[in-house]
């Protein structure tokens, strides 16, 4: 018998002063049985960073041809492809051919740094790829927020990201490892 996904609900208020985006979103997040709280919360962070009316979660880690999150235009074309973790270089090349923008939020400390060192040369020619690394402290703080029902606030200003709930408020440290000319 296959295990089913655990459903999490998040009410997310986003104040993105850099993009002039201000909205509340009610998210339903399906956490795959093999997914950790940390990975799920990095997906939620990715949603907060790139939030928009057409951004949605993909089918999950069990579906190889979909990202963790994506945004489609009204014609169905992929505007933004977002993966979290340490995706394979071939996956990123394929995504870059399908989407206008490809974003990766890597996490996991030293293994993630080793992944980027090995992957960077293979994806160097991709002009639409941005890679950001989440530090371990921020990943731990995000993981501490995980619960079946969450009320989160995210503020983004001058490239700084703050996340809060009723009991926590912290800066998220993201290092940009690779940016497109547009970023």
Asked if 116 and 92 count as a contact pair (C-beta separation under 8 A), the reply is: no
Beta strands per DSSP E along the chain: 6-16, 21-31, 55-57, 69-72, 78-84, 99-106, 129-134, 149-157, 160-164, 169-172, 174-178
- Tell me: pLDDT of 156 over 60: yes
What would the pLDDT profile of 97-137 be if each residue is shown by its tens digit? Answer: 999 999 999 999 999 999 999 999 999 999 999 999 999 99
pLDDT in tens, 52-103: 999 999 876 666 678 999 999 999 999 999 999 999 999 999 999 999 999 9
Q: 128: which DSSP letter?
A: T
Instruction: Enter the tokens of residue 63.
Output: 């579906």
With a cut of 70, say whether residue 182 has pLDDT above it: no
Asked if 129 and 178 touch (Cβ cutoff 8 Å), the reply is yes
Exposed/middle/buried for 117, CB within 10 Å: 0-12, 13-18, 19+?
A: exposed
- State percent of the chain over pLDDT 90: 86
pLDDT, tens digit (0-9, with 9 covering 90-100), for 24-54: 999 999 898 889 999 999 999 999 999 999 9
Alpha-carbon distance of 45 to 7, in angstroms, equals 17
Report the alpha-carbon distance of residue 134 to residue 87 in Å, rounded. 15
User: With 80 as the cut, is the pLDDT of residue 3 above it?
Assistant: no
Bridge-based pairing of strands 69-72 and 21-31 is: unpaired
CA distance 54 to 71: 5
Question: What pLDDT is recorded for position 32?
Answer: 87
**Looking at the predicted structure, is the pLDDT value of residue 18 above 60?**
yes
State pTM to two decimals: 0.94
Sorted by where each starts, the structural domains of the chain and their CATH numbers stand as 6-178 (3.10.640.10)
* C-alpha to C-alpha distance for 77 and 168, rounded to whole angstroms: 38
| pLDDT on residue 61 | 66
Q: How many CA atoms lie within 13 A of 99 on its CB side?
A: 27
Residue 63: the pLDDT is 65
């Amino acid at each position: 018998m296959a295990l089913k996904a655990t459903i999490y609900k998040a009410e997310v208020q986003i104040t993105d002063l850099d993009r002039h985006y201000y909205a509340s979103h009610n998210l339903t997040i399906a956490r795959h049985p093999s997914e950790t709280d940390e990975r799920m919360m990095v997906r939620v962070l990715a949603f907060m960073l790139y939030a928009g009316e057409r951004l949605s979660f993909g089918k999950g880690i069990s579906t190889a041809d979909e990202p963790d999150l994506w945004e489609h235009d009204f014609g169905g074309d992929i505007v933004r492809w977002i993966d979290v973790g340490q995706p394979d270089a071939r996956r990123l090349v394929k995504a870059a051919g399908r989407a206008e923008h490809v974003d990766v939020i890597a996490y996991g400390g030293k293994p993630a740094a080793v992944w980027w060192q090995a992957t960077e040369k293979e994806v160097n020619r991709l002009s639409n790829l941005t890679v950001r690394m989440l530090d371990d402290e921020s990943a731990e703080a995000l993981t501490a927020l995980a619960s079946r029902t969450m009320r989160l606030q995210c503020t983004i200003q001058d490239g700084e990201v703050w996340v809060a709930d009723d009991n926590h408020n912290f800066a998220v440290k993201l290092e940009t490892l690779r940016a497109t000319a547009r970023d």
